[in-house]
Structure 1
Amino acid sequence: MSDGVSFEGFPGIGKATAIPNTFFSSVLPAMREPGDLLAFLWVARLVQEQQGDARFVTAEQVWALPDAASTFEALSDGRESLGRGLAACVELGALLALDLAGSGQQETVYFVNNPASRRAVARARGGDLELRPGAIAYEPQP
């Protein structure tokens, strides 16, 4: 594609990222920048590869993926667009943000706004679920 080779199509069976239909009718029409869409798509992909009740990622984890960084560079204005896109998705209600603090660190983690994530965020805010900065173990899958 970028090397002049045409995309040959999707495999019959493979990994997929599920995007709720309401995203297309309620969220996508309200998005204003390419970075908004890219931020949501990359967060959705990364959290769906995780296991457990609290599925979330940081902006740094998104940016660390070479394909994510290259799409933000090609279609928007790079790293700044990721930050603005995440903020826009939180404002639109597509993503939930939770600020974590501890051990002299602070970071924001992002969840896709669905029932399981809303419960996890409520538990974390209520003290029933402990989430700490830097304690996120995420290995992206190819």
Structure 2
Amino acid sequence: MADSANEQRVIGETPVAPWRVFVAILAAPAAWTLQVCIAEALVAQSCFPYDAPMRASYAGAALRAVVGISAAALVVGIAGACLSWRNWRRLADRANDAPPRADRTLLNGEAFVAKVGFMSSLLFLFALVATDVAVALVSGC
């Protein structure tokens, strides 16, 4: 009887809230997507708005804005990767600490989703860094 209660306690616990897993999975991809969309729109409009070259472009101001957006996106991506790693470790430990007779399907599934989120965050963190390098190497106009 005690084993059954212990199994229910371990399976019923939720050390990681589902919204935290969701935020961690989407933080880095959303940061990269917003960075690319906003930066390209700013740079494109700073040099050639409406397909006509400007007499005095505001490329310097656009570059400063793009660098700021890139830094903010990188911080969000790093935070998402750290949160994903933390979620993955906590859920994997929870799955490993389950009693031998417990149904581990749900526990392993949660840990798998968190692990995929961590790998996705690392991939998009690399994309954020590569986009930042491109901003540094390529001229605005």
TM-score scaled by structure 2? 0.27
Query: Is the radius of gyration larger for structure 1 or structure 2?
Result: 2
TM-score scaled by structure 1? 0.27
Higher relative contact order (CA 8 A, sep 6+): 2
Q: Which has the higher strand share?
A: 1
Q: Which has the higher helix share?
A: 2
